[in-house]
Amino acid sequence: MNERVARTAAEASVDDHIRSVAGISDALLRQLRQSLQRIDEINRVTRIISMNARIEAVRIGAAGRSFGVIAQEMDTLSRNVSETTQDIDRMAGETSLDLQTRLQHLQSDVRHTRLTGLALGNIDLIDRNLYERSCDVRWWATDPSLVDAALRPDGDSLGHASRRLSQILDSYTVYFDLVLAGLDGRILANGRPNQYASVGTDVAAEAWFQSAVRTRSGDDYGFQSVHASALAGGERALVYSCTVRHGGRVDGAPLAVLGIVFRWDALAQTIVTRTPLSEAEWPRSRVCIVDDDGRILADSNPRADQDALDFDGRDTLFASPRAAVDTSWRGRPHCVAHAASPGYETYRTGWHSVIVQAIG
């Protein structure tokens, strides 16, 4: 029994506990009013006895005078008891209303603080993880095998580059594939040729390729946001890119572009679905990562069939680094908690973490 209680407590949020306290307060008020009702019932019996005593005193005349005195005192006592029970009932009602108001404010404050904290934790994890991806692509773009393949794109050098990319992929399982593209946008080699037949594919129009070509040194990188990538068989991916330069130097002449195809859902969906909400909260909660336009990049409820998250006051909320509002969403009151990308080191996604939770 104790283990079950402990487990239930562990699964409940602070919000749930405050709601429980409010329920206990309501129960205590009901019990108090039931007790006052029983006192009123006793008081009615007292008044009946008092009335009978007065009748008896009148009937027996002078000999019943003492009954009249007792009846009068019983009336006084009855009135005092009645006034006292009314005062107690009034004060109990006022105290209960004040307590409920304070608990509602506390519940709202705690909910806002806790959910924005969880939202911040989610986007911070993403920023930190993706910072490493921006470092990976700049580091690997200096690999001698890629420089050699870009300079002499023959069978031997491209085969060596492919094997080198494959070796990297064996150690970094967060990627679908690594691809090397010439400056004309044609893919020369990739690390998973048996899984993704991308060699020869024209990627010149892709955002990741174009943004890399526009960079001025090997210290910079290109990027393409969440999309269904043909380089990963249509899976949702992010692509980071960097120019491969002469001599592997950051200031060398551009020779090719390295693209690293990141498994987005493996990171983002894991983060949103493992957000530490209580068991009681999950059925009424939704956790998302969205961009500035509200486009959903990750969603704890992928079956929601929505491309964007929209609600009253979204732009105002997104303008704040970290905040929460209570608003109507889909006809029901909801708390919408938000945290903007805080950035990590030199990297910042610029995205938003949102937790939407039904109230009540």
**Cα torsion at 196, 200, 202, 208 (round to 10°)?**
50
17 confidence band (pLDDT: 50, 70, 90)? low
Strand partners, 177: 261
Contact 244, 141 (CB under 8 A): yes
pLDDT of residue 1: 34
What is the percentage of the chain residues whose pLDDT exceeds 70?
Answer: 83
Contact 231, 245 (CB under 8 A): no
pLDDT of residue 8: 37
Average pLDDT over residues 138-161: 96
pLDDT tens-digit profile of 242-257? 999 999 999 999 999 9
Q: CA-based Rg of the chain, rounded to a whole angstrom?
A: 36
350, 225, 353: which is closest to 292 by C-alpha? 350
pLDDT tens-digit profile of 275-315? 999 888 899 999 999 999 999 999 999 876 678 888 888 99
pLDDT of residue 187: 98
118, 11, 124: which is closest to 357 by C-alpha? 118
pLDDT tens-digit profile of 330-342? 889 999 999 999 9
- Altogether, the residues listed in the chain come to a count of 360
Is the pLDDT confidence value at 192 over 90?
yes
pLDDT of residue 51: 74
- CATH class for the region spanning 12-112: mainly alpha
Locate 83 and state its tokens.
Answer: 């006034």
Residue with more model confidence, 305 or 169: 169
Do the domains 141-267 and 12-112 match in fold? no
- CATH class for the region spanning 141-267: alpha beta
pLDDT of residue 62: 66
Alpha-carbon 17 to chain mean position? 19
pLDDT tens-digit profile of 208-217? 999 999 999 9
pLDDT of residue 31: 78
CATH 3.30.450.20 fits 276-358, yes or no: yes
Is the pLDDT confidence value at 71 over 80?
no
CA distances from residue 3 to 10, 13, 17, 234 in whole angstroms, order as listed = 10, 18, 18, 47
pLDDT of residue 96: 67
Average pLDDT of the chain to the nearest whole number: 86
pTM for this one? 0.77
pLDDT of residue 3: 40
Hey, where are the domains in the chain? 12-112, 141-267, 276-358
At position 290, the amino acid (one-letter code) is V
Average pLDDT over residues 34-54: 72
pLDDT tens-digit profile of 113-147? 999 999 999 999 999 999 999 999 999 999 999 99
The CA distance from 157 to 140, in Å, is 16
